[in-house]
Structure formats: structure tokens, C-alpha cells
Amino acid sequence: MADTTGNTKGTGTSHPHQPRKASWTYIGPGIVVAATGVGAGDLVATLIAGSNFGYTLLWAAIVGCLVKISLAEAAGRWHLSTGRTLFDGWASLGRWTTYFFAVYVVVWGFVYGAAAMSSSGLPLQALFPGVMDLKGWAVACGLVGLVFVWFNKYAVFEKVMTVLVGVMFVVTVYLAVRVTPNLPDVVAGLLPVLPDEKDSVLNTLGLIGGVGGTITLAAYGYWVNAKGWTDTGWMKVMRLDNRVAYATTGVFVVAMLFVGAELLHSANVAIASGDKGLVQLSDILEREYGTATAKFFLIGFFATSFTSLIGVWHGVSLMVADFVARQRSRGEARAEEVASGARERSWPFRAYLLWLTFPPMILLFEGQPFRLIILYGVLGAAFLPFLAGTLIWLLNSARTPREWRNGPLSNAMLVIAGLLFLVLCLKQIWDQPWSEFF
């Protein structure tokens, strides 16, 4: 976010290129991060916000997108300005970052794998009732995701994600138009007003923090490199790409808030939290607008869930591959190595793919261990404060070339992001049933 666009000095790479003109033809990693970051859980959270508060928190959804723009831009700027990967930057801050990331990816990946497969299977079970039960569809989605990411490199992965994002976009915009939003209320929702409800501040912060906020914000820099962008000549392009990403995210989230406000809030209809809330919504859509609209929505639901699945399968596996390479070599992890595609062919990349796919299947059939779920919730909540804090540290130090360090706006946005996620992290820790854990 700093005002540094177009400067190519001090790139940290041996052969910096001249700045590329920011062009729509280059867009790609932003589409991937938008598709991966917005999962079924984000859509449900926004639906429930619209159901409970109407358009009152529309402004919070937009602020959430702006916060994520700053985080993803900072991650991409680190990769391009230094020629080093984000994990290489983390490692320079001390061994504690290594320990945190190692524990995080093992526990988080194990639980997330089951959640992602189940979320992708739900709309398929609703679309094709009687074919298989939810566990069968979940396993099938996991295996398809594994095979797809295993045998395809970034270029094919990006194209498929772009098609699925197109499906998500058409479905969500169609629904937003179909429910006929109340334009005066929409305009009023842009004013920063808190609902007159208990815990309204925490509910608002939760909506801001939940708009496409996952480890995929950190993976954005890796996808930037995988695209072939490795030096500051691509900085303008990366920034345009990043803004497109979160404008797209904003469309998804605002559209679902419209649906929640018009279809649920006005009729005083409540839906369940979690992915099953979207299946409930399809039933409501069928009653209101017919079977075709309901099935169209379920297709969009599947696109939303499956892009999150394959996005994590690819992006986090890429980060783990870089993590292992850095540990083995004890040298700098370079952006060019990610761009070469070598990381996607490495055994750590494929080993983590297997970890995301097969061990979580145990949870699908046996249920999720109580203590593991608590640890998963705490680690997941801690990751984004960790990301914001370390980016502030890295981008204000001599590790970053001076002309690409944070400016006042970047620092302000990252501090706001860090404080926001820290509050949400502490709330998540406080809300855990610790008395039952021990």
C-alpha cells in the first residue's frame, strides 16, 4: 500500500526487469486467492449477518475486504521486492516462527482437510440425492482434488480456478438481483453504524475478520511467484491483481448479505451456522423461486467449496514445500525456485497433499477429537495476528529494500489488521471449553 509503485531499484534479484504496465491480461493469482479465501463458511457468516441485522453491517463487509487487500499486498510486496519467499523472511525473525508454522500446518491441515471435503460434498449430495451419502461425496471430492493438484501445475490450476470463480460470480450476482435489494437501505448500510444488539462490537469485528481471511493470504505471495512474477518489475501488476481479488471477494460477500437481508431478515427466517445453512438456503430458494434457482445456487455452492479445497491443496502445499526446502538447505529460499515449478514437483509438496487428503478421512468416519478441534480453533485464530505482526516487522526493517518498505498507510492498515485479528484470536481462546480440555 506504500506509494512505491514503479520503482525497480534494490529488488533483491540479480536481474531486475523494467516495470510492466498494470494490465488486466496478467490477472491470475488474485483470482486464485479470492476463490480460495471465500469458502462456504464465509458465505454462511455473511448470510447470517444479513439475516440478523439486515443491511446494517454492509460497511463492515467492505472494510473486511480492505483489510485483506493490505495483508495480501504486503505479502506479495515482500516476495517481489526481496526475491525471497515469505517463509525465508519468517525464518530470519527467529526459530519460534519455524516451530509455530510446523505445528500449525500439521494440526490445521488435518482438521481442515475433513472440513473442506465435507463442505464440497454437501451440495453434491443435495444435487444428486440417493447416489451416495455425504461421506462418500466428501471422499470423492478429496480424491479428485488430490489427483488434480498432483498432476497439474500452476498454469492449469489457475485456469480451472478462474472458471469456477466465474460460476461463483454469476450465481451470487444472479441471487442478489433476484431478491431485489432495497437501494435506500443499501446506501444506509454503508454508514459505519453498529447494530443495537448484545455483543454487536464482537459480531461486527467477526464479520470484518471473516471476509476471505485464511492462510491463503500468506499463500498469495507464492502464487505470485508461481505465475512467474519474481521482481519489482511486476509490482504494479501485483497490486492491480490484488485489488481485483478483493473486489471480487467483495462482490461475493455483499451479494450474499443482500440475500440474507431480503430473503431471511425480512421474513424473519433463521438458518443454521456452518455449511448446512447453505443447504437450508437452497430449500428456501426452491420454495420462493423454483427448483431451477435452487439447483443453480447449489452449483455455485459447490464451486465455492471446491475452489477452497483445491486452493488450499495447492497453496499450502507450496508453502510447506518451501518450508522444508529452507530447513534442508539452511540457505535463502528464492522466488525463482517457486517460479520454476520445482516446488510443485517436490516430495514435500506431494507429501502434504497426501496429509490433507487421507488422514482427514478418518475424521469423516470416526468424528472429530474434541481436544484436537480446540487446538485447531486456537491455532487457526492465531495465524492471522502472526501474519500481520511478522509482515509489519519484515517490511519496516533492513530485510526489505528501503524504497519498498511500508509507508504510513501500509503500516496503519497492517496495525489495524493485527489488532483486529488479535482481538478475534483472544475471543476464540476465551470461548473454548478449557475446563473440558484438561
The upper half-sphere exposure of residue 326, i.e. CA atoms within 13 Å in the direction of its Cβ, equals 25
Please report the pLDDT score of residue 211 as a whole number: 62
Q: How many CB atoms lie within 10 A of CB 198?
A: 8
Q: How many CB atoms lie within 10 A of CB 298?
A: 24
Find out whether 309 and 145 touch, Cβ atoms under 8 Å.
yes
Determine the Cα–Cα distance for residues 307 and 382; give it in Å rounded to an integer. 24
3-state secondary structure of 257: helix
**Residue 93: what are its φ and ψ, rounded to 5°?**
-90, -10
Task: List, in sequence order, every residue forming a beta bridge with 42; answer none if it has no partner.
Answer: none
Find out whether 285 and 293 touch, Cβ atoms under 8 Å.
yes
Find out whether 179 and 263 touch, Cβ atoms under 8 Å.
yes
Please report the pLDDT score of residue 10 as a whole number: 36
**Residue 84: what are its φ and ψ, rounded to 5°?**
-115, 155
Find out whether 218 and 36 touch, Cβ atoms under 8 Å.
no
CA–CA distances in Å: residue 23 to residues 26, 29, 32, 70, 187: 6, 13, 17, 20, 31
Q: Annotate 309-356 with three-state secondary structure.
A: HHHHHHHHHHHHHHHHHHHHHCCCCEHHHHHCCCHHHCHHHHHHHHHH
Please report the pLDDT score of residue 234 as a whole number: 94
Please report the pLDDT score of residue 6 as a whole number: 35
CA–CA distances in Å: residue 32 to residues 71, 79, 217, 312, 337: 15, 17, 11, 10, 20
Find out whether 90 and 101 touch, Cβ atoms under 8 Å.
yes
Determine the Cα–Cα distance for residues 55 and 361; give it in Å rounded to an integer. 39
pLDDT tens across the length of the chain (438 residues): 433 333 333 334 434 556 777 777 888 999 999 889 888 878 888 888 888 888 998 998 888 888 888 999 999 999 999 999 999 999 999 999 999 999 999 999 999 999 999 999 999 999 999 899 999 999 999 999 999 999 999 999 999 999 999 999 999 999 999 998 888 999 999 998 888 776 677 778 877 876 656 788 999 999 999 999 999 999 999 999 999 888 888 898 899 999 999 988 877 777 776 677 888 899 999 999 999 999 999 999 999 999 999 999 999 999 999 999 988 876 677 889 999 999 999 999 999 999 999 999 999 988 767 778 788 888 888 999 999 999 999 999 999 999 999 999 999 999 999 999 898 889 888 888 887 776
| Residue entry with cell 454508514 | 191
